Amino acid sequence: MSQSSGSQFKDRVLSGMQPTGNLHLGNYLGAMLNWVKMQDTHETLYCVVDLHAITQPVSVWGGPDILRKSIRDVTAAYIAAGINPKKSILFNQSRVHEHAELTWVFNCVARLGWLDRMTQFKEKAGKDKERASVGLYDYPVLMAADILIYHATHVPVGEDQKQHLELCRDIAIKFNNDFGIEFFPITEPVIMGPATRVMSLRDGTKKMSKSDPSDLSRINLTDSPDDIARKIRKAKTDADGLPSEAKGLEGRPEAENLVGIYAALEGISAAEVLKQFGGGQFSSFKTALGDLAVTKLSPITAEMNKLLADQAYIEGVLTDGAARAQAIAAPIMQDVKKIVGFL
Ligand code: AQP
């Protein structure tokens, strides 16, 4: 069929982030670090999922001017974190209309019962789900279309996206069964690394998130060194010191989170972190963690700012990326139309 794009790699990766605010340490450690590595082993497509951003209330994504800025900011963050727009196809989702077109077909394949089980919708809609947008409910169907419009085989994400990827597999299987054709691949989630779920700095039971109203809950990729140090200093901890072994972190979500962040940034295990800091007080560990976070994140922030000073470059990357993405998506959408029976 029409999957081939002439890439040297057999497997194709697709992933994306919402331009709903500044990217944070969770996005970076949970997903982007893996995205960068996969550029050398897979054909990679990374998108800024602006269609997803507008599923939330306008107050969350900020309105048209802020959305345009956020799309550029996230594009710059991708490149600054190591996504090479020559190696990877980097684009914003709304420029490739096939994402929305395939979503409609998938809306007619996915079952209400499947969507009713999605925990992210329940969390984001909150108590007043009658007031949530239809788009928020349909979010995982659009995500399945994002992936399958490229016949992507692998999707690197954080732990929170696991359920959505299971739904993507269910949609592919049902489409293939309904039409009696092996057309869509059964995509593999790639959830790897020591920080697949980075938690809020204010509450170790909640994931770090762009839309958390408290800026102290997250480290943004745009934070200054002083902000990073301050947020880590103020991070919630419990009354005990650091344990000497990883099992001493059980039932202590805040301590476990900070140790996990250190491990992920340094590229070592939690046990190795505790070998170094176990038995000590949080205050000295927090200073070391702040220094490490600044060392790792400051070059990304500096590069982002440099890139954002050249808006024509960002625009060029997105235009080129969208054209390359569409060259893959359009023939797959044509095949879908034939399979479904559209004239
Ligand atoms: N806390 C996290 N730990 C590990 N991975 C995370 N990701 C997000 N938060 C964490 C991963 O980042 C990718 C992009 O996520 P997204 O921006 O598209 O949406 P999200 O998962 O809904 O992230 P946020 O920060 O919570 O955004 P808002 O607040 O706007 O909804 C995904 O791979 C995700 O797993």
Assess whether pLDDT exceeds 90 at residue 189.
yes
pLDDT of residue 4: 63
Q: Using a 6 Å cutoff on CB, does residue 19 contact ligand 1?
A: no
For ligand 1, atom 10, the nearest C-alpha belongs to 26
pLDDT classification of 8: cutoffs 50, 70, 90: confident
Contact criterion met (CB below 8 Å) for 171 and 141:
yes
Rounded to the nearest whole angstrom, what is the distance from the C-alpha of residue 211 to the centroid of ligand 1? 10
- Residue 5 to residue 124: CA distance in whole angstroms: 37
- Predicted local distance difference test score (pLDDT) of residue 1: 45
Give the closest residue to 172 by CA, choosing from 205, 147, 155. Answer: 147
For residues 223 and 229, what is the distance between their CA atoms, to the nearest angstrom? 10
Ligand 1 nearest-atom number relative to CA 15: 33
DSSP labels, 26-67: HHIIIIIHHHHHHTTTSEEEEEE-HHHHTTS-HHHH--HHHH
The per-residue pLDDT for range 59-114, each reduced to its tens digit, is 999 999 999 999 999 999 999 999 999 999 999 999 999 999 999 999 999 999 99
**Residues ≥6 apart with Cβ < 8 Å to 334:** 2
286-306 pLDDT per residue, tens = 999 999 999 999 999 999 999
| Strand 154-156 with 188-190, pairing | parallel
Contact by Cβ (8 Å): 99, 51: yes
Edge-to-edge strand list for the sheet holding 154-156: 89-92, 43-48, 12-17, 154-156, 188-190
Is 10 designated active site? no
Given CATH 3.40.50.150, say whether it is the number of domain 6-196+310-340: no
Atom number, ligand 1, closest to the C-alpha of residue 207: 1
pLDDT of residue 332: 98
Residue 124 appears among annotated catalytic residues:
yes
The closest residue, in CA terms, to atom 14 on ligand 1 is 17
For the stretch 236-249, pLDDT in tens is 998 888 999 989 99
Q: Which of 87, 174, 206, 210 is catalytic?
A: 210
User: What is the number of H-type helices and E-type strands within the chain?
Assistant: 15, 5
Q: Which atom of ligand 1 is nearest to the CA of 27?
A: 12
The domain made up of 215-305 is a member of CATH 1.50.10.20? no
Ligand 1 binding pocket mutation candidate from 23, 27, 92 (most atoms within 8 A of CB):
27
CB-based contacts of 18: which residues, under 8 Å, 6+ apart? Answer: 48, 49, 50, 52, 53, 210
Q: SS3 of 16, please?
A: strand
Q: Which residues, including other chains, have CB under 8 Å from residue 74's CB and lie 6 or more apart?
A: 17, 19, 23, 48
**pLDDT value at position 283?**
92
Q: Judging by DSSP bridges, how do beta strands 154-156 and 89-92 pair with one another? A: unpaired
DSSP strands (E only) in 153-299:
154-156, 188-190
Topology match between the domains 6-196+310-340 and 215-305: no
How many Cβ atoms from other residues are within 10 Å of residue 63's Cβ?
Answer: 9
Instruction: Give the lowest-confidence range in 45-49, 278-282, 316-320.
Output: 278-282
Spans of all domains in the chain: 6-196+310-340, 215-305
pTM (2 d.p.): 0.93
Query: Of the listed 86, 122, 207, 296, which one is catalytic?
Result: 207
Atom of ligand 1 nearest to the CA of 60: 30
